[in-house]
Structure formats: C-alpha cells, structure tokens
Amino acid sequence: MKINEDSRQRSRPVHHTRITDIDFSRKTINRKTDTLVYAMGGLGEVGKNMYCFEHDDEIIIIDCGVLFPGESLPGVDYVIPDWSYLVKNQAKIKAMIITHGHEDHIGAIPFFLQSIHLKEIYAPRFAKALIEKKLEEHRLLRNCRILTIDEASHIQTKYFDVGFYNTIHSFPDSLGVFVNTPNGRAVETGDYKFDFTPIGEKSDFQKMAYMGQIGVTLLMSDSTNSGVPGFSISERKVAATLLEQMRKTPGRLLVSTFASNVMRLNQILEGAVSCNRKVAIFGRSMENVVEIARKNGVIRIPDDSFITGNELNTLPPNRICIVCTGSQGEPMAALSRIANGTHRFLKIIPGDTVIFSSNPIPGNATSVGSVVNKLTRIGANVIVNSPLTSLHTTGHAPQEEQKLMLNLIEPKYFMPIHGEYKMLVQHAYTAQVCGIDPERCLICSNGDIVVMRDGECFIANERIQTDAVYVDGNDASGLSTLVVKDRQILANSGMVAVIVTIDSRYNRILCRPSIVSRGFVYIKDNQTLLKEAEVLLYDALKTKMQQRITFNDIKNTIRGSLEPFLYQKTKRNPIVIPVILNQKAAMEELQNKQMHRA
C-alpha cells in the first residue's frame, strides 16, 4: 500500500476556524501554484460523471460518463459533458482514470476521443473490456491504449501522485481514487457502498482508515442515496432470496434486472444452474455484458448451461430461466416486447413467473407499472422488489454507510458529488452531523472551481463554462443541441409557415402572404387571428421592400414582425418558418447573372 505521505502533516477538521477568517486573496486563482478541482458533469444530476484535477500545466480526469435523457429530450440518445475547456487545454491532459464500468462513468469516452487526442486511459479490468468494445464499435480502438489498474496500481506525473483502493458496488473491480497534489490530498470515492458480507472483493477498510490517519484535505463522495436512511441490504441476502424463489417456482422463470449489474447477473445465473435450469439471455446490452463477464472470469457458468431462443420449446418449463433487459419499462427492451407480445422467440404462457430484481429509477415508475400490468393481464405471476421480498439492493451508500466513509476518511473539507442538488445538500448535512464544519462543506455545480491551496479549500470566483451536449446518433459536435431545442419548441408550441411571393427584379411583394399552421392553433377557429397576421406581414414587407433588401432581410422581417404578434395574442412562441417564392422570370434572371459572374 503506497500512499505518498511526503512532508505533509496530518490534516484534521479544525472546527473552531471559519473559512471566512482565512485570507484567500479574494478567492482569485493562482494557476501556477493552486490546485484546481472541478466537475464537467455529475453535480446537480445523476449521470455524466467527469471530475478534473488541474495544477499548472497538468490535468488528470476521473471518469467520462453519459446521462440518459428523459422524455423532455425527444430523439436524444445521450447527454454528454461540454468539454470545450478541455479541448483548449488538451496538451495539459496527462491521464484519464476510470473508477468502474457503468455507462454514467465510461459512456462518453468514444465521443471524448473524437474531440481530444488521448494516449492512455487507466481502467479496472472489467471496465477496460467494456471500453475496448465501445471503442471497437466506434473504430477508435487504435487511437488510445487502455491500461489495467487495480488497488495496488500507482500513477505518477510531475504534480500528481495517484493511488487506488477497493470499493464495493454493483459492478466488479470498482475502485476509489486518492490524489496527492502539491496543495493537499484528495479522495474521490467513485460509486460505493459498504457490504460486510459481499459477493466478491471486500472494501479496503484498512487503506481508507490509513488515509484518514495521515490526513485528507478534500473528500469527494457519492451522494446518490444521501436521502435514504439506514444501511443497504447485503447482496448475499438478495442472492439467497433469488435462489429460494427459483427453487419454489414450478414453471418457467423470467428475471429482469439492470444489464450493468454484473454481480446480480452472476447470482441469477448461478442460482438458475444450481436449480437445474438452462439459461436464455435476451437483450443486446445484457448479452454483451455476459459475454465480457465470462471472458474475464466474473461469470463462470459452463457453455452447456446456456440455450438460445430456438431451444426454449425443447425443454420442460421447470428447466428454463430467462434473463432479460427491461426492468425499467424501456419500450424497446426485451421484457416490454414480451409483455406486448411482439418478441421474436418468447410469448408469456399462463403460469410463468416474472421477477423484477430492481427498483424503478425515479421517473420510470409509470412505465414499469404499465409493463407489470400487461404481464399480469396475459397470465404471468409478477413479483417485484419490496421490503418483504428483498429481490434488489442498491449499489450506492445510504446515510449510515456515508457516515462510515466520512469517519474513516476524516476529511478537512467535504465536496458531495454524483447526485441531484437535493442529494448534495442532504449529503453535506450528513457530513455536518459527523463533525465537519458547515463552512467546509462545498456544494458546487458543474463548472465551479474548488481551489486547493496549502491544505485549505475554497470555491473560486471564476467558473469553467460547461453545459450539457445532446448526442443525436453519433453526432457529438453539439449541433444536435440546437435541433433538440427546436423539437421542444415544436412539441410545446408548434410551427407556423409563412409563404411570401415576390419579384426580386422590382423588389416588390406580389400578394398578401399566406400562413399555414401545424400544432399551433386550430385553423378553423382562428381564421381571424391568421388573417390579421397576414395583413400585418404584408404591411411590414411593403415598407421594408421600399429599399433594396436581401432574402435574409425578408426572413428577418417576417420573424421580427410575426413572433411578437403571435406571442401577444396567444402567449405561445411557435417556430416561424419563412418560405419565399420568387417569380419565375426573376429567378431566371438571377441564374443568368450568377452564370455570367462565374
């Protein structure tokens, strides 16, 4: 266990010293001597985690994740961080470090590598395999080396000395990170929980306690479950519950869980095999994870325990276990297609048992409930997680486990990360209960800069510009952001098209404009409004066209006149689309002039 103690003295919270009593030169940044800590994503949201440490001419990055869009972002595949600041400073980037392989920590890497040249990414074994598969799909595998790290690894740059410690999460090989800097030691927990009877690796209590003994300046800790009291259920209890349910189920068994919950998948598969059931996997993401987990030795189920969809009818019902995606009611996931009767291989037979080994993510309860109702209607026995069934446990620390982390690390300053704003505030309150001065709890937003200076921390009066970038297909340029805003306007206020006929030879409008509306107002009941708008535009264009103008001037006049009028009358802002029709003779004259110039 190598933790750089150098000449730093042990740091303990000094509760009688208020941060306002310390002179920080009005909270300005000295970029040569200060260490800067900031988030490109992950604060005020659950997803797109990306945290950066910067000192002089070096930057190290921890995680690079996506956020999955909700219904308010129609057509968007992913939301990724805006890393334009890192593009400008890419010569400073010395390392990207991954804590584990969930999408909200690795999903944005292919898009990142399209914008920024990076030689190496450091990732735990299982995360490395997933990243390599992603890069292979995007044809980027040759652009960057993926190096394996574990709890004994060590990364050294000119200013940063980085080490790791084991944590428990719903994903194998999860790591926490400690970063020794010229201005103090920071610890970033990654996603974690404490399980005293885990399946797999144990938490590295000794290393965490040792860091607390030698002094931690800043703790950055997962806040996802900061509003959940108590301790989490052990994965062993969930495994025992699933095994008992499999043993007493007489017919076919369908189990749906998160494809990314590798440890749970392993429990389900091992339980099925021990009950003499063959396993069929449905769902592309789950098939990929199972394949990688088997290659890496996380899942050790023999080949003859797996069957394909075509083989389902060759076995008696009590010999079959189907594991599938769709635990969150996703419309295109395997379980939703099974519930709708549109799955290629599988139809529900009355007497089938369906187990949801998950909890609905906030916002998904309605879609999950809809799938449950459909399955029940066609004869399935549906069992969902509850305090009585214990079919699921979280991968994130509730309040009592957060207190354990705080007491092990004993940080001087605390920065809650990975959570919505309410979660960050609740985590900060938990830290205060554990004895950390409220003035030393730094609740930040994406782009805020925490300055580490000589063992002290403060939020600077500067910010890094960062925003959400919407990815539509494989476009990570940010242009899709504008497209999505148009979609939202169309969904909320509709569209108005204005058709104008002109003769550009004489700079003259030939007739009153025609207005066509879709999704804005019901045309039959609003003829008067549209006629008024046509007259308004006609007068505005006649006045404007008394001088020589361009097609763009005409479009700007239409928008500038019509948009305020429509908002005044309806309190809505539809998209206004000008359509300009030029007289045929005028168009021919324009084309002749252009050819003559060429």
Q: Is 396 a catalytic residue?
A: yes
Locate 540 and state its tokens: 């505005």
Q: Where are the beta strands (DSSP E) in 350-434?
A: 353-356, 381-383, 411-417
* DSSP reduced 3-state for 145: strand
Q: Where are the beta strands (DSSP E) in 223-325?
A: 253-256, 278-282, 320-324
CA 211, 215, 220, 224 torsion: positive or negative?
Answer: positive
Of these residues, 55, 102, 396, 418, which one is catalytic?
396
Which residue from 100, 127, 101, 116 is spatially nearest to 40, judged by alpha carbons? 116
| Residue 49 to residue 247: CA distance in whole angstroms | 40
Task: Provide the β-strand partners of residue 122.
Answer: 97, 147
CA proximity to 180, closest of 15, 55, 49: 55
Select which of 222, 352, 448, 472 is catalytic: 222
**What phi and psi values does residue 127 have, to the nearest 5 degrees?**
-60, -40
β-strand 175-181 against 161-166: which pairing, if any?
antiparallel
| Rg (alpha carbons) of the chain, rounded to whole number | 29
In the chain, the largest separation of any two C-alpha atoms, in whole Å, equals 87
Of 350, 297, 345, 288, nearest to 322 by C-alpha is 345
Q: Which residues pair with 79 in a beta bridge?
A: 67, 470
The helix-helix angle for 284-295 and 262-274 (nearest 10°) equals: 80
- In this structure, the chain runs to a length of 598
Answer yes or no: are the C-beta atoms of 359 and 389 closer than 8 Å. Answer: no
Q: Could you give the CA distance from residue 457 to residue 560 in angstroms, rounded to a whole number?
A: 49
Placement of tokens 């879709």 in the chain: 518
Say whether 190 sits in a helix, a strand or coil: coil
Tokens of 427: 């985590």
Q: What angle do CA 126, 130, 133 make, to 5 degrees?
A: 140
Phi then psi for 280, rounded to 5 degrees? -115, 130
The question of whether 472 is a catalytic residue gets the answer no
Q: How many CA within 13 A on the CB side of residue 477? A: 5
Distances (CA, A) of 486 to 77, 461, 479, 492, 572: 16, 34, 12, 10, 14
DSSP letters spanning 162-202 = EEEEE-B-SSTT-EEEEEEETTEEEEE--S-B--SS-SSSP
User: 441 — phi, psi (to 5°)?
Assistant: -95, 115
Q: What is the SS3 assignment for 117?
A: coil
Show the tokens assigned to 593.
């002039």
Q: How far apart are CA 450 and CA 444, in angstroms?
A: 8
Q: How far apart are CA 347 and CA 168, in angstroms?
A: 37
CA atoms within 13 A on the CB side of 390: 14
Q: What angle do CA 223, 225, 231 make, to 5 degrees?
A: 125
- Cα distance between residue 442 and residue 446, in whole Å: 13
Neighbours of 478 (CB within 10 A): 16
Report the catalytic residues.
222, 396
